[in-house]
Amino acid sequence: MKKFCPAISLAALALALTACGNDVSVKAPDDESAVAETGDVSNDEITNTDEIAVSAADLEGNPFLAEWDTPFGVPPFSEIDVEHYMPATKAGILDLRAEIAAIVDNPEPATFENTIVALDISGNQLGKVANTFGNITGTDTTDALRDLQTKIYPMLTRETNAIQFNAALFERVKSVYAQKDTLVLDEQDARLLELTHRGFVRGGADLSQEKKDRVAAINEEISSLTTAFGQNLLKATTGFKLEITDAADLGGLSESFKTAIKVDGEDKWVVGLNRSPYETFMTQSTNRELREKLFNGYRLRASEGENDNGPVAIKIAQLRAERAQLMGYESHAHYQLETRMAKTPEAAVEFLLRVWRPGLSRAREELADIQALINADGGDFTAEGHDWWHYAERVRQNRFAFDDAALAPYFELNAVRQGAFDMATKLFGVTFDAIETPLWNPVVTSYDVKDENGDHLGVFMMDMYARDSKRGGAWMSSYRNTSDINGNRIRPIITNNMNLIPPPEGEPTLMRFDEVETLFHEFGHGLHGLMTQIRYENFSGVDGPRDYTEFPAQILEHWASEKEMLAEYATHFETGEVIPDELIGKMRNASTFNQGFKTTEFIAASLLDLAWHSLTPEEAAAITDARAFEAQVLEEYGILPEIEPRYRSQYFAHIFAGGYSAGYYAYLWSEILDADGFEAFKEADDIFDPELAGKLKTWVYEAGGLREADELYRNFRGKDPEIAPLLKVRGLDSVSG
């Protein structure tokens, strides 16, 4: 089945239990057929089991049932209203059921084409609706859409459960799989067969009926809980505002930031909890009291009242632990990591601690420097968490004569975006031409992406600005995924999303360098989705284990800071002057500064994730307080009390409302790959080395999940990765742990 919502095979969906619309995808079918092809929509009523019923009147004028004649088939956003989603979802479910029934009831013996391929291309209509719904609820949600999420996602989970546990369907899959050594299959065919069978087995298709029923119930309950978690977090995040009414309290803030947070027509400035304004305020503000208020607002989000996610997180962890035991695994983490590069949670923890120890040692040194500066200022207090950002920046300025704000004029959004496009052209031959398409929000920009031969690769859309209707963070997603079967070539519609502070009207969008790196990162995910040459949606695009799929994104961050690249895109927004060598030198000298803090806060969250998901059902059942549990975990690892984990449990959407449960460590694991991989370009003394770029293109960006991740990496690099480049990049290579 193809991917619907933003990448997990349908067979694994019941276990992935991802709330659609987050930064992972659920796969379902995707050719542009209409419901009418499998049922007469003119009938007064289309009915089926599980209360899935939709009338012809309900479907009249529904844009999801029409063929979209928009440029490249982009959804006609202005024609889609809230009331269209539910009937279109029901019609899509009925369409999918008919396709599955056609496979199961086929009187012919099961073959690769009539079973495996037929399954991969099924669910087109449902994917069309669910992809759109999942993306819109992530970028422009409303109360009505949030209410729909609580209804639609359990329906989708029930449907995937029904397919996952369809005994007759699995018998046909097993029949084809048993013939795999005698079938004439090319590499992509063989991989599709392997992954389809694996997905059913890992999804519980071989369980007893009693266990299947319980797993199905767990899947549905987790679907509802993950949706609730995300909704609670969004409401808690948008519900907190730090309001400043006295200009005297704006000390330290740059003029551009003050302008960005000022309320139009009022003598009031407002800072919310999106990461970009949060970090900017915490770094610049000299008002310690206000920093503490914002700090507590951020770290205590969704931890009390009606939006308290603590009980939700506990229940999700308990259900995942129970499901893993039913599946025959020690814990959810053991289940999840079985097919990933780390293989076991023990190996993931061991890896994290190899970086944690020197990171923690460096963080202690950084804390001492911060306290020394506080003392030198005559401050009569001990450094706390809300002091770190501000004083670390001051230490950096003193040590490197470098102010991050001096960089911003050289990183204007349009120039940075064009720099990323130019990098992709030099490396892979792909080009980006601005086009006019329907948009879900006026700030979105669209591009026609072509390969080196000028052939269409896909549509790329960028949504860069924060708003209250949009979830926080940065992510890549898709409105349509890739397939190329029986002459029906479908290319993707890919999106990148960030949460930059919108500038005043007419003013440029100036970026911090970490935001520049984030843009290059998400662009890497985008290229992974756009450049895929895999025919089957089951493993096309950003497919692969979590500890590998971050690699194609993270490696592109290295180009952002290379002098050769900076000379092309880092120009002063007013004068056009290329960023001076002196400023580049200072930026590089300061690049490993505060890495103890950054390493520690990230690994703390990763260890917390693995702790939640390594619980047995008995251990999970004993947890009654999420904060107490995480405090115990972090204390055991010796985290400094002055450093908050990057995510606390109540707002850890990656693991409780996204697709990274037992997988947040993947970002750092992938950093082994990206640091080692970029080292090859440095060794070649050419960051655009054609031979290396060709291998990177073939074995990473175009290959999807064609082979196991370690093999794909070796085909690009010629060897297994080493950890030394990662420690060097973080400046921890000389630190004892």
DSSP string, 239-253: H--EEE--GGGGTT-
Nearest CA-CA partner of 479 in 150, 71, 43: 71
Domain count, the chain: 3
Of 162, 184, 206, the residue that ends a domain is: 206
Q: pLDDT at position 737, please?
A: 59
Domain that holds residue 600: 321-402+594-656
Task: Give Cα separations from 542 to 52, 400, 471, 516 (angstroms).
Answer: 32, 39, 21, 22
Residue 124 counted as domain residue:
yes
Q: Both 325 and 394 in a single domain?
A: yes
Q: How far apart are CA 132 and CA 479, in angstroms?
A: 6
Residue 15 counted as domain residue:
yes
351: left (phi over 0), alpha (psi -120 to 50) or beta: alpha
Confidence check: pLDDT of 14 > 60: no
Q: Both 272 and 202 in a single domain?
A: no
**Which residue type does 112 have?**
F
Q: How many other β-carbons are positioned within 10 Å of the β-carbon of residue 487? A: 5
Nearest CA-CA partner of 68 in 55, 56, 77, 57: 77
Q: pLDDT at position 71, please?
A: 97
Question: Would you call 262 exposed, middle or buried from its count of C-beta atoms within 10 A (0-12, 13-18, 19+)?
Answer: middle
Domain containing residue 372: CATH number: 1.10.1370.10
Q: pLDDT at position 147, please?
A: 95
Compute the average pLDDT of residues 222-249. 95
Helix (H, G, I), strand (E, B) or coil at 280: helix
For 207, half-sphere exposure in the C-beta direction (CA atoms, 13 angstrom radius) is 24
Q: How far apart are CA 628 and CA 269, in angstroms?
A: 35
> DSSP per residue over 390-430, as a string?
HHHHHHHHHHH---GGGTGGG-BHHHHHHHHHHHHHHHH--
pLDDT in tens, 462-519: 999 999 999 989 999 999 999 999 889 999 999 999 999 999 889 999 999 999 999 9
Q: Both 45 and 170 in a single domain?
A: yes
| Average pLDDT of the chain, as a whole number | 91
- Quickly count helices (H) and strands (E) in the chain: 30, 13
Torsion of CA 632, 634, 638, 641, to 10 degrees: -100
Q: How confident is the model at residue 275 (pLDDT cuts 50, 70, 90)?
A: confident
Q: pLDDT at position 563, please?
A: 94
Confidence check: pLDDT of 8 > 60: no
Q: pLDDT at position 552, please?
A: 97
Q: Both 161 and 274 in a single domain?
A: no
Confidence check: pLDDT of 446 > 70: yes
> Residue 230: in which H helix or E strand, if any?
helix 209-239
Residue 95 counted as domain residue:
yes
Q: pLDDT at position 505, please?
A: 87
Locate 436 and state its tokens: 């006019």
Active site residues: 522
Q: Both 135 and 257 in a single domain?
A: no
Q: How far apart are CA 357 and CA 703, in angstroms?
A: 35
Of 155, 183, 206, the residue that ends a domain is: 206
Q: How far apart are CA 248 and CA 267, in angstroms?
A: 12
How many whole angstroms from its chain centre is CA 196? 23
Q: Both 70 and 176 in a single domain?
A: yes
Domain containing residue 130: CATH number: 1.10.1370.40
Task: Give Cα separations from 59 to 4, 40, 55, 70, 88 (angstroms).
Answer: 21, 12, 7, 20, 7
Rg of the chain on CA atoms, in Å: 25
Q: How confident is the model at residue 650 (pLDDT cuts 50, 70, 90)?
A: very high
pLDDT in tens, 53-88: 888 888 999 999 999 999 999 999 999 999 999 999
Q: Both 56 and 144 in a single domain?
A: yes
Q: pLDDT at position 70, please?
A: 97
Residue 516 counted as domain residue:
no
Of 639, 656, 673, the residue that ends a domain is: 656
Residue 371 counted as domain residue:
yes
Q: How confident is the model at residue 736 (pLDDT cuts 50, 70, 90)?
A: low
Residue 398 counted as domain residue:
yes
pLDDT in tens, 472-486: 899 999 999 999 998
Q: Both 381 and 285 in a single domain?
A: no
Length of the chain in terms of residues written: 737
CB proximity list for 679: less than 8 A, separation 6 or greater: 725
Residue 528 counted as domain residue:
no
Compute the average pLDDT of residues 163-186. 97
Q: pLDDT at position 630, please?
A: 96
Task: Give Cα separations from 620 to 135, 311, 566, 616, 723 (angstroms).
Answer: 32, 12, 49, 6, 34
Q: Both 379 and 266 in a single domain?
A: no
How many whole angstroms from its chain centre is CA 315? 23
Q: Both 295 and 326 in a single domain?
A: no
Locate 488 and state its tokens: 């029906």
**Which residue type does 685 have?**
D
CB proximity list for 609: less than 8 A, separation 6 or greater: 652, 654, 655, 660, 661, 662, 663, 664, 665
Q: Both 179 and 80 in a single domain?
A: yes
Q: How far apart are CA 248 and CA 542, in angstroms?
A: 49
What's the whole-model pTM score? 0.88
Compute the average pLDDT of residues 374-389. 96
Beta carbons of 730 and 359 less than 8 angstroms apart: yes
Q: pLDDT at position 48, please?
A: 45
Q: How confident is the model at residue 3 (pLDDT cuts 50, 70, 90)?
A: very low
Nearest CA-CA partner of 478 in 461, 464, 466, 490: 461
Q: Both 161 and 20 in a single domain?
A: yes
Residue 141 counted as domain residue:
yes
